[in-house]
Chain A
């Protein structure tokens, strides 16, 4: 048989995908959430979401929300930290507690047959944490050690400075969750208890879940184990950032560094803004995939980097655009030239071929976002976090399909803002001298590893 390898195979008829049904649950207490029943494996992934995060840290107390999240399962409901952990492990279940600027997530994973007992433990953690002094001192000193470690990680330093500077000092939406060294030093166990009472014990909360159990079972179990807390309404919103009016470059000098970490971006709109779909398509072309313009040029054509990518990140009421890469020191200048060229070019030219390829890629990839239980819970959490409509997933493919070249160019023009761009470089400064003239920065500011200003040129 002679095979025609020169002609790529044609795809068959597109396979049919049925979206899983999303069920909205509201309990008599007012606690509400979203659920997807998935029977494939006998397991349940459940996430309790409290609307508070590190943006609620008071001035001088950065790191408090993070430390509270670390301590909340170090002993609860009459069980010591070790007893609690032992019980989770005997069930084969796990709990992860994480925090970002606006939300605190309690995520449990268990086999279906152990879900009730696992949820009961979660109930204890949320409503009866001990906050013992000795646990506090130990965990605080661990955070301090982590902060020391951070100073040696060029990528973490670059990430930290970018977020802090793009959101600006007046907003806490960009500060480091771990906190500043001197703030963490001053935190007390009473601070932790107060934070818990003010923002978690009665804070606004909801849940998202995907599992093999039935919706009525889930309702009953939540009522039994988790629904004895008052539903609060302390929805204090963190202060929104004010865009900086200057094009700024921040750098950290690392003597003899062989690579330069690069972050370039600016403030942008909300997740639920109508141009989300246009931004998604545009970014897929610019830097969202391996073959996107920026990675293809910097990695596959020039060999400057192991990888370069761009994306939009969001807070509840705002967001930012970011391009991130790490390049060989000696190519820093040329890489920056290429990056700025591409950031301009995406506002001017997008071909029909690029647009159609990006749209088809996103639409065809859609079903694979609904595979694991964690993916389902993450998807539901996106709806919950950003107040997206229940029909969001149903409409997603058609909303992507509707994007035109004009929409994508406009999205680039509106969301990649040259005048207010924040650039961060971490590397040997001899590799990026004399950048003011070439790239038109209004300010060039040297920082230390903790993101504090040293000299302004």
Chain B
């Protein structure tokens, strides 16, 4: 499909920084999207959350940009900006009027090359407090807020890069010092460990000159070691109950599957659609509509560089049993694998996926981020059409073959209202 085939240019600077340019002059805006090949998977075991804290520190100023000025320059230009940390990567982006492209490149290059000069105890102490608040607000003080911390903790052993939460444990958050931050920067924030996408309304030659001007002089100092991690299978199923400040009981059933872009992942995504992708999803139909046991049910496949899993989660209606809900989920999975998947189910899912690929091309920042995503995991930025074709090739049999994952041990995590503790 022509819309999904982007005309782009990719090259590297001498210092190893990968550059991807994608021109789109439909609006006078530009996006700078920078991915560093470091995420919480690189956190030291006793310093979980360091990669995420570091992302915060990148907004605290660099040699030529004072604290607060990064935001100020972008906002005064009419731009927006943000950053995020995942297990695998940390990304930073600015979306600005196209005449401010140079400002965004100047800002990103200053913190890539001259971050340490502005690092102080004061800025670090401030951001430790901010991250502490982030953890309280988004996880500790939220109903079901510890869901993913628990799931990853149960699924992966302590040595696995996905064991600890990206935000980090509170005791670790409070323990970071300047040395931790400095070492992290020197190790991972180098041009050779990053890729930059510039997308939008710009002249290619001019953009290349600016990228060379601002990033070319930043040296890559040392090799970044590869992270090797072997994901082991669970030897036995694991169960845990969390007594939480919630009103409704919730269950999560999780099976280990495959790493990102594994050939079976496309069938697993379609499986999740067939189960809970809509009102007609099999599990939604039986649990929410026919039996009225659950308020909601959803299934999805997660996958990253070092592991993947398939999750089915349901929130029980008041007084309904999680055991019964689990039994139905397992029976329905078994039925699906043992009996037929209808052509309609498969077509419905594929039509939705295809339309979503097209809808996904609307905003420049998501296109730029996706170019970096494909480049990071596949080495080829323009993989939109290829990925869609992998979904289109999924057949009934390839979905049914996923059964093997569900025959293995799984994690069963439940959230139960606090006042039920001791009553079960």
Contacts and interface: CB of A to CB of B under 8 A. Distances in A.
Nearest to B107: A8
Contacts of A303: 125-130, 132-133
A21 interface: no
B324 interface: no
Contacts of A300: 67-68, 126, 130
B254 to A, nearest CB: 22
Contacts of B318: 144-145, 148
B232 interface: no
B406 to A, nearest CB: 25
Nearest to B101: A12
A93 B355 contact: yes
Contacts of A373: 362
Contacts of B289: 81-82, 138
Given A42-B3, A148-B248, A372-B362, A9 B103 contact: yes
A90 B344 contact: yes
A84 to B, nearest CB: 9
Nearest to B127: A303
A15 B28 contact: yes
Contacts of B356: 92
From A42, A364, A366, name the one whose CB has the most chain B CB atoms within 10 angstroms: A364
Interface string B30-71: 000000000000000000000000000000000110011001
Interface residues of A, number: 74
B68 A371 contact: no
A362 B362 contact: no
A77 to B, nearest CB: 16
Interface stretch (A237-245, A289-297, A439-447): A289-297
Given A14-B99, A85-B278, A5 B136 contact: no
Given A111-B358, A360-B76, A149 B248 contact: yes
A328 B347 contact: no
Interface string A311-354: 00000000000000011100000000000000000000000000
Most buried by A among B28, B75, B285, B317: B75
Chain A contact surface mostly: mixed
A290 B77 contact: no
A361 B351 contact: no
A153 interface: yes
A408 B229 CA distance: 57
A5 B77 contact: no
A335 B174 CA distance: 21
B221 interface: no
B386 interface: no
Given A3-B213, A300-B126, A303-B130, A9 B95 contact: no
Contacts of A218: none
A86 B273 CA distance: 13
Contact-residue size bin, chain B (C-beta under 8 Å from the other chain):
35 or more
Contacts of A149: 143, 246-248, 295, 315
B353 to A, nearest CB: 8
A185 interface: no
A291 B72 contact: yes
B362 A15 contact: no
B253 to A, nearest CB: 20
A40 B364 CA distance: 12
A154 B143 CA distance: 9
Contacts of A365: 78-80, 97
B228 interface: no
B131 to A, nearest CB: 8
A141 B141 contact: no
A11 interface: yes
A90 B245 contact: no
A44 B132 CA distance: 43
B196 to A, nearest CB: 17
A290 B75 contact: yes
B182 interface: no
A41 B138 CA distance: 36
Given A152-B246, A306-B138, A372-B362, A328 B133 contact: yes
A150 B379 CA distance: 45
A457 B26 CA distance: 60
Contacts of A59: none
23 contacts: A5-B114, A8-B73, A11-B77, A11-B102, A82-B279, A86-B344, A89-B348, A89-B351, A89-B352, A91-B351, A92-B351, A142-B295, A145-B248, A145-B315, A149-B143, A152-B245, A300-B130, A328-B129, A357-B75, A357-B76, A366-B78, A367-B29, A372-B362
**Which 6 A-B residue pairings sit nearest by Cβ, starting from the closest?**
A364-B78, A303-B129, A92-B355, A15-B28, A365-B78, A9-B102
